A and B are shown apart, each in its own frame.
Chain A
Amino acid sequence: MTTTTAPAAGAVVPRHHSPVRRPSLLRLTVVELRKLVDTRAGRWLLITIGLIAAVVVTLQLIYAEEADQTFANFFVPSLLPVGVLLPVLGILSITSEWSQRTALTTYALVPRRERVVTAKLVAVMVAALASVLASLALAAVGTLVASAIGGAGTWQLDGSLIVNAIILQVTSVLMGAAFGLLLLNPPLAIVGYFLLPTVWGVLGEMVRPLRGPSEWLDTSKTMEPLFSSDALTGEQWGRIAVSLLAWMVLPLAAGLFRTLRREVS
């Protein structure tokens, strides 16, 4: 029964090509950005993030005092809900490769797994930057509407506020990605990401000896100054750095180690 002909056989000639180069990090990043939006789930997550920011601005328009309807006041409140959802994006970007088993294809095409992980981290950071731009754009729309309907509509915004917002959103998404890398399972990583810091925060409130360390390790406390336009003190930066070391850098390092060694099947 051995056959010697096949339909459209010519198209599977094993060709000898010129030496091939490995895909650049830029190329891999573009692939990962595309993966963020090429499924319904990913697209809806991004749309939800945008919608929530829009809802926050709308609520400001309806309920905030007219004098408070300024560009900065539209911008800052939209950061928080977006900052809650961005980590989910980071988690799903990493873990869906394992839950959907596409890791088999991804790592067969790019066996240097650290390059794929780097590309994913860059991609979600780009998404975080884009979310800040979206927040700015929505705040601008809010300000325009406010000045039309009698609100303050002042445009003044400190540059430091934008820098703080960028730090806030980029670190949020990276913390999510770090949890994803470490746990490699979407539900586990999402629950872990939201539960652990909360438990830690509650413990920090309840257990007196933990109150001191909590000031340095509870990201909801250490990151709080980033929501204002006041310049941060050295100690505040120190606290942010220490808490990020615990919740971002360590899980990232341990997660990378685990991802590089894990059997793909």
Chain B
Amino acid sequence: MITVENLTKRYGPHPAVDDVSFQCEPGTVTGFLGPNGAGKSTTMRMICGLTAPTAGRATVSGQPYRELPNPGREVGVLLDASAQHAGRTGREALTLSAYTMGLDRREVAAKLDLVGLNAVAAKRRVRAYSLGMRQRLGLAQALLGDPRVLILDEPANGLDPEGIFWMRGLLRDFADRGGTVLLSSHLLREVEAVADRLVVIGGGRIVAQGDKNELLAGGGTVVRARDGAALRRALDAANLSAADSSEGLLVQADAEAVGQAAADAGVALAELRPASGGGLEQLFLTLTAGESTKEAVR
């Protein structure tokens, strides 16, 4: 169980995270989505007590992270796979953590085995690890204390397709057995495949959150005209935000509003239909389009 209430972090006048609130329930995987620089990592660091929030609070299993007596036994954290001492072996890195948490040393071998790092890999220094191996080591570290909560920042980064498939199964299984997972990604397909709930963040603010299926149902409208520029002007005039997609413009509004906007501007449409199940990518594009263009203009 993770509860985030009105978390805000300002660096100078610029808010990196602005009034973010959400909850992750036991038994669910929550996908935390957003473009780079949207504030995902900052939010996760604040949950883990590594960054002090300007305002708001976060609790894990009902307690602020810093008050957890032995956090590694309650929540597994992987925020950056490359944050390992290059001169230590994989096994040594886990041994230090296991001893800190007061775990049996056999857990180290068990978790290395679980994430698919064999004895040879475990004896090598992290310097020689590929990004995928570092992610696996980081996952082993997060799972080491048999926690009930997992907080993972971009864990699929650097994993090969087989590795991504494997991790998806691991997280799904963890949640199905009552665990709570918060997983950030910009790999939309990855999150769509495993998450039950979505929290989408852009420019430091939450732009959408809720049940994955409900969010995907409101996928918006695809519209296409021969004169694309005129269509975009028409949509702008009607105050509808539009994002480019492979099939045309994707508008976060129903077909009627889009058709009316085009008719008002006298633009002939070539296509107008509800967005098909292309899913999260379109939702993601739509929801963050306004934010990122604002960012670019600023």
Contacts and interface: CB of A to CB of B under 8 A. Distances in A.
A binds B: yes
Interface of A: 1-9, 11-17, 19-23, 27-28, 30-31, 34-35, 38-41, 96, 100-105, 107-112, 261, 263-265
Interface in B33-72: 41, 45, 48-52, 65-66, 68-72
B70 A13 contact: no
Given A13-B177, A28-B100, A20 B141 contact: no
Contact of B70 (A23, A96, A105, A263): A23
A111 B97 CA distance: 13
Contacts of B291: none
Nearest to B174: A12
Given A12-B173, A100-B86, A263-B50, 11 more contacts: A3-B165, A3-B172, A4-B176, A13-B177, A14-B179, A20-B73, A39-B85, A108-B79, A111-B49, A111-B71, A265-B41
B77 A108 contact: yes
Interface stretch (B17-25, B143-151, B236-244): B143-151
B96 A17 contact: no
Contacts of B101: 23, 109
A49 B189 CA distance: 54
B228 interface: no
B261 to A, nearest CB: 36
B268 interface: no
B193 A2 contact: yes
B168 interface: yes
B50 A107 contact: yes
10 contacts: A7-B169, A13-B146, A13-B177, A17-B146, A96-B85, A101-B83, A111-B48, A111-B49, A263-B45, A265-B80
B99 A104 contact: no
A106 to B, nearest CB: 8
B70 A12 contact: no
Contacts of B227: none
A110 to B, nearest CB: 7
Contacts of B141: 105
A109 to B, nearest CB: 5
Give the bracket for the number of chain B residues in contact with chain A.
35 or more
A27 B99 contact: yes
A21 B96 CA distance: 17
A66 B193 CA distance: 81
B281 interface: no
A265 B83 CA distance: 9
A108 B143 contact: no
B173 A6 contact: yes
A41 B87 contact: yes
A6 B176 CA distance: 12
B100 A31 contact: yes
Contacts of B82: 101
Nearest to A22: B69
Contacts of A264: 45, 50-51
Contacts of B79: 104, 108
A102 B85 contact: yes
A20 B111 CA distance: 20
A164 to B, nearest CB: 35
B100 A14 contact: no
B137 to A, nearest CB: 11
A20 B100 contact: no
B213 to A, nearest CB: 12
Contacts of A109: 71-72, 97, 100-101
